[in-house]
Amino acid sequence: MNIFDELEVQYHEIDNQYSSIEFDCIRHGWSRKEQKYKRKREINDQAYFVFMFSRLEDRIREESAKLIRNKKSTISSWKQKASWEILPSQPDAELHFKKRLALLTEKGGRDFNLVSDYYKERNSIAHGGSFFNPISMPTVIIELKRLHRVLKS
């Protein structure tokens, strides 16, 4: 079982427990407790979204660094090599995330736009944005797993 599968199972277990309690509150007319569990589920969605996105983020950093290293070591023409030489070889080196992403998938393409949207949302959640959009976790998890598989150097 990979890290996505583990997180997915754990996320759904928690969400089902909370939603079962939320439903119980509706049955009993406990509206304050219902709101409390609704909020708990929202926060759980956000937390797991950021957690799972961070796995994809790592993958993109690793794969883009691998591609840069590979280009630097295999290109012999100095003209072609020069553009790669200015890029950092390490995954944790300073290079904007979207620039790394553009090395692995076409800028403006579906996957690029999808990861960019997730990245924007991740930044909003991680940096204390005052708003948040609800997340369709089952469909987002399917996409995160697919992106983790296809974004390669």
Partner 1 sequence: MLNDINQSYIKERIKDWKSRLNHMYLLVEGALSDKQNIVCKKTRHTTLYEELMQKYNVDSEDIPILDIYKNKVIIATFKPVGLWVIGANGRIDILTKSGAYIVVDTAEIGKKPAWKVFTPKNRKYGKNLNSSLILELVNQA
- For binding to partner 1 (CB under 8 A), which residues are involved? 8, 12, 15-17, 19-20, 22-24, 26-27, 41, 49, 117-118, 121, 131-140, 142-143
- The least distance separating partner 1 from the CB of residue 59, rounded to whole angstroms, comes to 19
Query: Which residues make Cβ contacts (< 8 Å) with residue 19, sequence separation at least 6?
Result: 37, 41
Which position has the token pair 């591609």?
Answer: 67
Judged by beta carbon, residue 73 or residue 129, the one nearer partner 1 is 129
Q: Say how far apart CA 46 and CA 51 lie, in whole Å.
A: 8
- The least distance separating partner 1 from the CB of residue 84, rounded to whole angstroms, comes to 33
Nearest C-alpha neighbor of 116 from the set 133, 99, 98, 129: 98
Judged by beta carbon, residue 36 or residue 81, the one nearer partner 1 is 36
- The least distance separating partner 1 from the CB of residue 109, rounded to whole angstroms, comes to 15
Judged by beta carbon, residue 85 or residue 117, the one nearer partner 1 is 117
- The least distance separating partner 1 from the CB of residue 127, rounded to whole angstroms, comes to 16
Which residue type occupies 141? I
- The least distance separating partner 1 from the CB of residue 64, rounded to whole angstroms, comes to 24
Judged by beta carbon, residue 78 or residue 131, the one nearer partner 1 is 131
In contact, 119 and 151? CB cutoff 8 Å = no
In contact, 55 and 148? CB cutoff 8 Å = yes
Side-chain-side CA neighbours of residue 101 (13 Å): 20
Judged by beta carbon, residue 80 or residue 136, the one nearer partner 1 is 136
